[in-house]
Structure 1
Amino acid sequence: METLALFFLFFFFSFKQLVLCADVCSPASCDGVGPRIRFPFRLIGRQPEHCGYPGFHLFCNNQSQTVLSLPLSGEFVVDYIDYTRQAIFINDPDLCDSKRILNFSLSRTPFEGTYTRKFTFLNCSSKATEYMSYNLIPLFCLSRENYSVMAMPSYSSAQEIPPSCRIISNVSVPIQRYAPQYWSSGQLREDFQLTWNEPRCRSCEADGGICGFEGNTFLEVGCSRPANDGLPRSAKYGIIVGIGVPGLLCLIGLACFAFGRVRVLSNRSRLNINELPTITISQQPVVRAAGLDEPTIASYPMTVLGESRRFPKSSDGTCPICLSDYEPKETLRSIPECNHYFHAKCIDEWLKLNGTCPLCRNSPDSSVGTPCSSMSSSYSLSSSEHH
């Protein structure tokens, strides 16, 4: 009994120390939807205050979207965060980025638009189709029945402006780094790319480390390396001795206790085996989920993921089957009944063996589907969101 008491005392203090050491900032997200939030960002209400750098606070709205609030420009939905490049990709919740850019400002924020391009917005009295020859791009979310709002690159000459148009404003758009060299309408419909310089975590993230505050003062930023770097040999020996010896003593004590109980029970009268109740175990039939045939699987919609990694509806950016993040130009397939997305190869192999959705376990209706040959050739997630 003394051995057991010593073991439990040792276990209590060891567990308390582990709890104190486990006070770390784990990544979080808005109900599993959207990007994973970690340092220098902090998700308000789901991560402690010391988990984020000043000015990098995010929150979840009532649609489980991750939102960044800029003091002078309002709220924007966060689509993606590249921690290695120190870049965040945001867009307007109402899908009218061109309207938000008219009064866009990064003052009083730690962010900047590293890659910007200047445009001129025009108010034209005629229909948008009459200005296609002028290399103008219609901004439909700003246009109305009696006028059209058009955009043109600011380097165009004044002679290219139609006489029925007047200049609304000259704006600077924080475009994405890998946007095309020549201007196109997509640059006013894709996400805005913002970057930050402080805290500097590029080299730490590139080496596979985790950036965060050092010590208890939460003033200096440091880099912690992955746990697979290995512990010193002396620390390993200390762990083995500190846990192995008490564990062995505990096993010896339990063995002695069990042996004593067996001796006590052996001295009692033996039970009459014939009086023991007979228990009959009926074997339950094994129910196997039948897979779907290839024509049915091929009828489910296929989509090609655009550069913005945005979906027509809120969706996680990770394939639930292979647990890999979706990358631009990858082909995805969705199940019509529940509209859950997966890598096309992953869900095809799954549905051959299981006739249910991997996420919700609902059986898809094989009668609902759109031939993938007509959708995969012309449909893109990034383009469909803006029409």
Structure 2
Amino acid sequence: MHHLFTSAILSLIIFLSSTAHLQAVEICQYFSCNKHRHDTIQFPFRVPRNQTIRCGYPGFDLSCNSNGGTLLKLPSSNSSDPLVVQGIDYSYQLLWISDPKKCVPNRILNMDLNLTGSPYGLGPDSAEYSFLNCTNDNLGDPNSPIPGGTSVVSCLSGGNFTVVVTAEKVLEEKMVGDLKCEMIKRVVAPLWWPEFGYGSYPDDMSDIFIQLSWDIPGCRDCVIRGGSCGFAGDSGLSVGCFLSGGNGGLPLSVKYGLILGAGIPGLVCMIGLTFYISGRVRAYHQHRRHVNSEVSPAIYPQPIILTMGLDGPTIESYPKTILGESRRLPKPSDGTCPICLSEYEPNETLRSIPECNHYFHADCIDEWLRMNATCPLCRNSPQKSSS
């Protein structure tokens, strides 16, 4: 019984430990700063005010503003204004952000996009851009518009000058040579707009996006496989992939509820069955002890009575008969000695037992009676036997 009870307790500890570990890696649910938007914040990102520390990887903290926007604050940023998160692609590990003042080039030129100390890097669509300051006198001629492949930056332009930007060296040289524009700065920046990659530039490069990427933690393959990425345990930075059975599978939170809903009743049944079996085993052993106590006298050693054979004078007192040629006994009897199974022969000496009148060879019955005080045939004890 003690062994069964110990097994039940051990099973309970193992089950609670496994569910505690499961809870540690699955406590996080997707979150959104704006309930009207379908994009969600998930690992490695987290919102500290709404999610626990194990819901996100270090350095990926986000926040929400009063308008339902998602904000990102870079640790080395010179500006007190955080950037606005416009989109996150978890399968490619890309992040698009914008300037709340709608002037991304200003942050680029003022080195306000310092990624030092952050887990982010420049996006894969980064390019080298040339910012130029052109006077309106040269740009104001309708017959001399800015060439294609360039964009104005209205948030940096003034009353008598216009800031333009281009990523093409030929256009940069043309604007410097023909339009007398002055070079402001040439920088490598991850600028991005919805039509990026189609060979077209926006008319105004002010309110565009900045494209960032991250490599650690690497959850790309997990997301592509339809799983949920998260910490593999309740401590450390090891990351695991928790598959939910494909696109049609149940969410992890639902599976966690099912495990608890089915596991706890199952564990209770197992413990109940363990106690039931232990009770039956205990009752069986009690019954055995009770039966043994009742029948124990029957198995106690009983007194043994030893019966010895007859003494010599008693044996000699039994009558002898010498068999004649006819081999006929005084009383009809078998013609064979019951002890040696040999037929009687003439002149052989026979002895009989008076009580039963059974005949034997004298030598055979004498030897028998010295060891046994009973007749070999009828087992009757002679009256003069000694015990």
Contact 1:153/1:183 (8 A) holds in 2: no
The aligned counterpart of 1:196 is 214
> Distance between the aligned counterparts of 2:151 and 2:262, measured in 1?
69
Separation of aligned partners in 2, 1:65 and 1:237: 40
Does residue 1:145 correspond to 2:172, yes or no?
no
Q: Which residue of 2 aligns with 1:63?
A: 67
CA RMSD of aligned residues (A): 3.7
SS in 2 for 1:42: coil
The aligned counterpart of 1:101 is 108
Residue 125 of structure 1 and its aligned partner are, at CA, apart by: 2.1
Whether the 8 Å CA contact 1:179–1:187 is kept in 2: the answer is no
Alignment map for 1:1-387 (pairs within 5 Å): 22=23, 24-32=27-35, 35-73=39-77, 74=79, 75-102=82-109, 103=111, 104-113=113-122, 114-126=124-136, 128-130=139-141, 132-135=145-148, 136-156=150-170, 158-161=173-176, 162-176=178-192, 179-182=196-199, 184-185=201-202, 188=205, 189-226=207-244, 228=249, 241-242=266-267
Secondary structure, counterpart of 2:164 in structure 1: strand
2:201 counterpart letter in structure 1:
S
Alpha-carbon distance in 1 for matches of 2:32, 2:238: 25
Percent of aligned pairs with the same amino acid: 30
Q: What letter matches 2:75 in structure 1? A: P
Report the 3-state secondary structure (helix = DSSP H, G, I; strand = E; otherwise coil) of the residue aligned with 1:115: coil
In the alignment, what sits opposite 2:368?
none
Q: Which residue of 2 aligns with 1:268?
A: none
Can you list the C-alpha shifts for 1:186-226, whole angstroms capped at 9, x where unaligned? 69343222111111101100111111111121321111111
Instruction: Assess, with a 3 A threshold, how the Cα gap between structure 1 residues 92 and 204 changes in structure 2: closer, same or farther.
Output: same
Deviation at 1:89, TM superposition (A): 1.0
Question: How far does the alpha carbon of each residue in 1:62-94 deviate from its partner, in whole angstroms, 9 at most, with x for none?
Answer: 332111111334421001111111111111112
Q: Is the 8 A contact 1:126 1:164 kept in 2?
A: no
Change (3 A) 1:186 1:22: farther
Using a 3 Å threshold, how does the CA distance of structure 1 residues 83 and 115 change in structure 2: closer, same or farther?
Answer: same
The answer as to whether partners of 1:154 and 1:170 remain within 8 angstroms in 2 is no
Amino acid at match of 1:221: V
- Checking the alignment, whether the CA contact within 8 Å between 1:39 and 1:52 is kept in structure 2 is yes
Q: Deviations over 1:270-291 (max 9, x none)?
A: xxxxxxxxxxxxxxxxxxxxxx
1-side partners of 2:92 and 2:234: how far apart? 27
Q: Alignment length, in residue pairs?
A: 232
The alignment's TM-score, normalised by the length of structure 2, stands at 0.52
Instruction: Kindly state the Cα deviation for residue 180 of structure 1 after the two structures are TM-superposed.
Output: 2.0
Distance change >3 Å, CA 32–CA 15, structure 1 → 2? farther
Unaligned runs of 5+ in 2: 1-14, 272-387
Q: Map Cα deviations across residues 251-285 of structure 1 (whole Å, 9 max, x no partner).
A: xxxxxxxxxxxxxxxxxxxxxxxxxxxxxxxxxxx
Q: In 2, Cα distance between the equivalents of 1:80 and 1:117?
A: 20
Is the 2:69–2:85 Cα contact (8 Å) retained in structure 1? yes
Question: Is the contact made by 1:26 and 1:38 (CA closer than 8 Å) also made in structure 2?
Answer: yes
Deviations 1:227-251 (A, max 9, x none): 64899xx9999667457899xxxxx
CA contact (8 A) 1:117 1:174 kept: yes
Q: Which runs of 4+ in 1 moved over 6 A?
A: 14-20, 234-240, 243-246
Equivalent residue number for residue 251 of structure 1: none
CA distance in 1, matches of 2:151, 2:75: 30
What letter matches 1:166 in structure 2?
E
Query: What SS does the corresponding residue of 1:32 show, helix, strand or coil?
Result: coil
Q: Are the structure 2 counterparts of residues 242 and 187 from structure 1 closer, same or farther at C-alpha, using a change threshold of 3 Å?
A: farther
User: Which has the larger Rg?
Assistant: 2
Once the 2 structures are TM-superposed, how far is the Cα of residue 96 of structure 1 from its aligned partner? 1.6
Deviation at 1:20, TM superposition (A): 8.6
Q: Give the secondary-structure state (helix, strand or coil) at the position aligned to 1:43.
A: coil
SS in 1 for 2:127: strand
Structure 1 residues without counterparts, runs of 5 or longer: 1-13, 247-387
